Amino acid sequence: MPALPTIQPSFAAGELSPFLYGRVDLAKFHVGCRTLQNFFVHPHGGASNRPGTKFVGAVDDSTVRHRLIPFQFRTLPTGQSYALLFGDHTMQVVMNGGFVLDGSGNVYTVATPYAASDLPTLKYVQSADTMTLTHPDYPPQSLTRTGHASWSFTALTFAPAMPAPTGLGSSNPGTAFAYVVTAVNGTTGEESLPSGYVGAASDTSTLSWAVVANAGSYNIYKMRSGTYGLIGTSTSASFTDSSISADISNTPPGQRNPFSGSGNYPACSTYYLQRQAFANTTNAPQTLWFSVVGAFNNMTVATPSKDSDAITRALVSRQVDEIRHLVPLASLLVMTSGAEWRCWPGPSQSALTPAQCMTLPQTAFGCSHVPPVLTDNSVLFVQEKGNRVQALRYDALQDVYTSQDMSVLASHLLYDTTAQYQIQEWAFAQEPFRIIWAVRSDGVLLGFTYMREHEVYAWHRHTTDGQVESVCAVTEADGVGGTTDAVYLIVNRTIGGATRRYVERMADRVFDTPADFWFVDSGLQYSGAPVSEVSGLDHLEGKTVAILGDGSVVPNQVVSGGKVALDGAYSKVTVGLPYAAQLETLNLEPAGGGTVQGQMKKIAQVTVRVKDARGIQVGLNQGALAEVKQRSAEALGTAMQPFDGDWRVSVPSEWNRDGRLFVQQSYPLPCTILDLIPEVNVGD
């Protein structure tokens, strides 16, 4: 029987759960994999070995776990992006692949209120160059940046930023009438608290007060029936009352701080419809507080309330679920530990006011402490137990948010019969590959390529010599006039028998020449005059490292005394920890009618369609691989260029009932697999 060529056209379904190994009826079975380790899936469907990581530096105290938080100040190229490294009551700043230094040349370090043990539940939201940090055990803080090495923490004050007028006096003093005055900011429109009151003998006196800086106008209120009501507005620091009747439906704002008292601190915050929102205190875990319009941290209210006043809303449900996150979209999504809610002005309103603030439950999954990810008008969140990922999306026909389980096809990566894991952190690197990088509880780095409009939902896993403990992504310049989303990691590595926690940056997967390839972890690169030895590798002392010299693979060496010896002289040398990228297909099943499941199969030839690939191995299993021998026109002694096109490979062959293929890249070289075309003989 002649060999039957079949094709796996892409890997767009990623690594699939063993529970799906028999589901040949699923379309995603034919574009899925049994194993995707240190390979990631492109939105187009191909799979590439992941780039390595560049060593940035060690954390300030390797005995405690640290956390990375992204900070983006404006947009590039004029703005700056930072990965903030939080430790035990410390913060350091990473920028463009290196630590920010102080004026003395030391790593810039600033004290923080936060203990290392509390970092997993520290929440943050940013506006311009200020970040609000919230935690139920700490007063909410404002983190402000004024320079690369100039950061400050300040406890939030929940009161108007506009000062109240002082020195209020009357031209006709007495006790028959009483007045107060407020100042209105000429730029923001924020109204101050009222001044101290002044009495007058009649309501035909002239009032005056001290000028307030930045005030565009002043509101004057007069007592009527025990309530101060508005009688007029002045653009100067004086006003004449000519027996004006007070409007007690318009009263001055009253001071209010809903977070006063020890332990009564909000756990999360965001911005929505020109208000800053806070939620979840120990005393009121299901309550939302919205600031005055345009005046963040101002929680004042008037009686009766005004449309611009601060708002308080409590979720009413059958059980008490703490609010974990606030996600602003067209509606504010309120993510609790037991359900997902929608908060918005209502179907016929556009402004959020005390009278128009509706809350309605949408789904009942519950959200973990991992911040949700926004992409493609969807919200991806980790369920409360940490081992499922859901996507929320608005359904206009039903006028409700609906959910879809995004992890069910690769459920084994989060829980199976032998172990259960949790996603502890994640970060969305939108450019260039649209991958969410997630830290699993055992230190494995998961990747999730997500492009909803093209039905690409592909999970993959990534390992290194150590455990990944934290991840963040920030936009940085790519060095060629564009931008990329740089991924920073904290990796726990064992060096010389001791724990070392390193900050590392995932390398950009764009290379001008083969000498620029970066497929080693925790690596460093030398560039300059030819050398036969590379030093400065103390952070990898005692480790066996992979080496690339001028684009050619150099035999692995052991770091001794912070150095490695090379087998020749090279001008550009990249040294770091090796890792292997492995791709294994599912059991062979040609598309179309019938099935070959359970039948004997023999594959002797495979066509591998690649892009920018060198040095790959192909076979039926990891123990029997054939290395692709690349022909090249380069001069002797120069590195081969990566290959684009088809490689037809003869593989060690045997009859079996699986018909799986295995592709491996174990060298520090690039590899992108576009499709696999085995030639199959089928027997009984």
Asked if residue 545 and residue 591 are part of one domain, the reply reads: no
Residue 28 phi/psi, 5-degree rounding, is -70, -15
Q: Is the dihedral of CA 93, 98, 102, 108 positive or negative?
A: positive
Asked if residue 662 and residue 601 are part of one domain, the reply reads: yes
pLDDT at 1 over 60: no
| Residues in CB range of 237: below 8 A, 6 or more apart | 165, 208, 209, 210, 211, 218
Considering the domain boundaries, does residue 235 fall inside one? yes
Considering the domain boundaries, does residue 392 fall inside one? no
Considering the domain boundaries, does residue 648 fall inside one? yes
- 136 has which bridge partners? none
Q: What average pLDDT does the segment 369-398 reach?
A: 92
pLDDT at 80 over 70: yes
Rounded CA separation 226/218 (Å): 22
pLDDT at res. 592: 72
| Residues in CB range of 666: below 8 A, 6 or more apart | 578, 580, 581, 615, 617
Q: What is the pLDDT of residues 279-308, one digit of tens each?
A: 999 999 999 999 999 999 999 999 999 999
Amino acid at 492: N
pLDDT at 85 over 90: yes
Rounded CA separation 11/610 (Å): 13
Asked if residue 586 and residue 540 are part of one domain, the reply reads: no
pLDDT at res. 79: 67
Rounded CA separation 548/514 (Å): 9
Asked if residue 563 and residue 636 are part of one domain, the reply reads: no
The pLDDT confidence band at residue 601, using thresholds 50, 70 and 90, is confident
Considering the domain boundaries, does residue 470 fall inside one? no
Domain stop point among 577, 596, 615: 577
Asked if residue 589 and residue 556 are part of one domain, the reply reads: no
Q: DSSP 3-state assignment of 122? A: coil
The pLDDT confidence band at residue 443, using thresholds 50, 70 and 90, is very high
Asked if residue 564 and residue 598 are part of one domain, the reply reads: no
Asked if residue 606 and residue 556 are part of one domain, the reply reads: no
pLDDT at 667 over 70: yes
pLDDT at res. 501: 98
Q: What is the pLDDT of residues 156-191, one digit of tens each?
A: 999 999 999 999 999 999 999 999 999 999 999 999
| Residues in CB range of 603: below 8 A, 6 or more apart | 588, 620, 651, 653, 659, 661, 678, 679, 680, 681
Q: Is the peptide bond before 77 cis (omega within 30 degrees of 0)?
A: yes
Q: What is the pLDDT of residues 481-513, one digit of tens each?
A: 788 999 999 999 999 999 999 999 999 999 999
Considering the domain boundaries, does residue 349 fall inside one? no
Percent of the chain with pLDDT over 90: 84
Q: What is the pLDDT of residues 511-544, one digit of tens each?
A: 999 999 999 999 999 999 999 999 999 999 999 9
CATH number of the domain that 36 lies in?
2.60.120
The pLDDT confidence band at residue 591, using thresholds 50, 70 and 90, is confident
Residue with tokens 């929940």: 158
Domain stop point among 192, 221, 240: 240
pLDDT at 314 over 80: yes
Pair 51, 520: CB distance under 8 Å? no
pLDDT at res. 350: 85
Q: What is the pLDDT of residues 2-27, one digit of tens each?
A: 677 889 999 999 999 999 999 999 99
Asked if residue 235 and residue 178 are part of one domain, the reply reads: yes
Asked if residue 195 and residue 234 are part of one domain, the reply reads: yes
Asked if residue 586 and residue 571 are part of one domain, the reply reads: no
The pLDDT confidence band at residue 639, using thresholds 50, 70 and 90, is confident
pLDDT at 564 over 60: yes
pLDDT at 635 over 80: no
pLDDT at res. 78: 62
pLDDT at res. 262: 79
Question: E-assigned strands of 280-384?
Answer: 287-290, 311-314, 323-328, 332-336, 340-344, 358-363, 373-375, 378-382
Q: What is the pLDDT of residues 227-276, one digit of tens each?
A: 999 999 999 999 999 999 999 999 999 999 999 887 899 999 999 999 99
Rounded CA separation 548/109 (Å): 35
Indicate the pTM of the whole model: 0.94
Q: Taking Cα atoms as reference points, which of 233, 238, 313, 244 lies closest to residue 272?
A: 313
pLDDT at res. 109: 98
Considering the domain boundaries, does residue 670 fall inside one? yes
| Residues in CB range of 369: below 8 A, 6 or more apart | 120, 121, 324
Asked if residue 235 and residue 191 are part of one domain, the reply reads: yes
Domain stop point among 212, 240, 268: 240
Q: DSSP 3-state assignment of 630? A: coil
Rounded CA separation 571/454 (Å): 44
Percent of the chain with pLDDT over 70: 98
Asked if residue 593 and residue 677 are part of one domain, the reply reads: yes
pLDDT at 322 over 90: yes
Structural domain that includes position 560: 520-577
Considering the domain boundaries, does residue 585 fall inside one? yes
pLDDT at res. 634: 66
Our count of domains for the chain comes to 3
The overall average pLDDT reported for the chain is 94
The pLDDT confidence band at residue 449, using thresholds 50, 70 and 90, is very high
Considering the domain boundaries, does residue 400 fall inside one? no
Q: What average pLDDT does the segment 398-405 reach?
A: 92
Q: What is the pLDDT of residues 460-472, one digit of tens each?
A: 999 999 999 999 9
